[in-house]
C-alpha cells in the first residue's frame, strides 16, 4: 500500500534534496506500448524454448575396468573361448615345430662338419680367408694341433701386407717389444 504523505514527511526530515528530486521525476522512460510488446516477446521466448528439443544428458561411459570385464565376458563365451583355444594351440604347435626343425638343422650341420678332415677345413679357410676376422683366425689357430698354415705363395703382396697390418694392430705393445 502506498503512503506518499508518510514518505514526504520522512524525506522532509531526512533529505529535502531527495524530496525535491522525487518531485522532478526520476528521468526513466520506456518505449511506447512497451508492456504489450513485452508480453508478446516473453510468450514467444517461452514457446521457442519449448520447441527446442532438450538435449538428453549423456550418461557417463563405463570405466576401462568395466569395458575390460565386458570384453572378457564376451570372449569367454563357449564358442569364442573354443576358437581362441584352438588358435593358441596352433600357434604353440607351430613355434615348437620351428624350434625342433632348427635344432635338427644345426645338428645335421655339426654332424656333416665332423666328417670333414683337417686338410679340407684348412683348404676351405685358405680359400675364404677374407671372410674371417683376425681374432677368429687367431683363436682358431691357437686351438689347432696343427696351426693354420698360411700359403703365402698364393697371396698377393698387398694381401700379405694387409694381413700383417691387421695382425700388428691386434698385438699389444708388450708383445711387439718382445718381437723386437
Partner 1 sequence: MPQAKTSDEQILGLMRNPKTLEKGFRLLMDAYQDRLYWQVRRLVTDHEDANDVIQNALVKVFRNIEQFEAKSGLYTWMYRIVTNEAITFLKQRKRRSATSIDDANINLANRLQADSFFDGDEAQIRLQQALQMLPDRQKEVFNLRYYEEMSYEDISKLLNISVGSLKASFHHAVKKVEQFFAA
Does position 53 interact with partner 1 (CB under 8 A)? The reply is no
Among 9, 46, 101, 123, binds partner 1 (CB under 8 A): 46
Q: CB of 125 within 8 A of CB of 151?
A: no
Over the range 164-175, which residues count as b (16 or more CB within 10 Å of their CB) and which as e? eeeeeeeeeeee
Does position 163 interact with partner 1 (CB under 8 A)? The reply is no
Window contacting partner 1 (CB under 8 A); options: 44-52, 78-86, 102-110, 121-129: 44-52
Among 9, 12, 45, 86, binds partner 1 (CB under 8 A): 45
Task: List the x/- string, 7-36, binding to partner 1 by CB under 8 A.
Answer: x---x--xx-xx--xx-xxxxxxxx---x-
Does position 54 interact with partner 1 (CB under 8 A)? The reply is no
Does position 85 interact with partner 1 (CB under 8 A)? The reply is no
Give me the least distance between CB of 57 and partner 1, in Å please.
18
Select from 118, 119, 100, 97 the least CA-distant residue to 108: 100
Helices 157-170 and 134-143 pack at an angle, to 10 degrees, of: 80
Among 9, 23, 33, 43, binds partner 1 (CB under 8 A): 43
Cell of 61: 561411459
Select from 176, 170, 114, 180 the least CA-distant residue to 139: 170
Smaller CB separation from partner 1, 25 or 59? 25
Q: CB pairs under 8 A, 24+ apart, for 119-128?
A: 122/146, 122/148, 122/149, 126/150, 126/151, 126/154
- Residues of this chain that interact with partner 1 (CB under 8 A) are 1-4, 6-7, 11, 14-15, 17-18, 21-22, 24-31, 35, 38-39, 41-43, 45-46, 49
Amino acid at each position: 500500500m502506498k503512503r506518499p504523505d508518510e514518505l514526504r514527511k520522512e524525506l522532509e526530515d531526512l533529505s529535502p534534496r531527495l524530496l525535491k528530486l522525487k518531485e522532478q521525476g526520476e528521468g526513466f522512460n520506456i518505449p511506447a506500448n512497451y508492456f504489450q510488446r513485452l508480453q508478446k516477446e516473453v510468450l514467444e521466448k517461452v514457446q521457442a524454448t519449448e520447441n527446442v528439443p532438450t538435449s538428453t544428458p549423456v550418461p557417463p561411459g563405463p570405466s576401462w575396468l568395466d569395458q575390460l570385464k565386458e570384453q572378457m565376458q564376451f570372449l569367454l563365451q563357449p564358442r569364442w573361448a573354443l576358437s581362441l583355444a584352438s588358435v593358441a594351440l596352433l600357434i604353440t604347435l607351430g613355434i615348437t615345430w620351428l624350434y625342433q626343425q632348427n635344432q635338427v638343422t644345426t645338428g645335421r650341420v655339426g654332424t656333416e662338419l665332423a666328417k670333414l678332415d683337417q686338410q679340407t677345413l684348412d683348404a676351405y679357410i685358405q680359400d675364404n680367408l677374407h671372410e674371417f676376422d683376425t681374432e677368429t683366425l687367431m683363436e682358431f689357430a691357437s686351438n689347432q694341433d696343427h696351426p693354420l698354415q698360411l700359403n703365402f705363395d698364393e697371396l698377393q703382396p698387398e694381401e700379405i701386407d694387409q694381413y700383417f697390418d691387421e695382425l700388428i694392430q691386434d698385438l699389444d705393445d708388450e708383445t711387439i717389444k718382445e718381437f723386437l
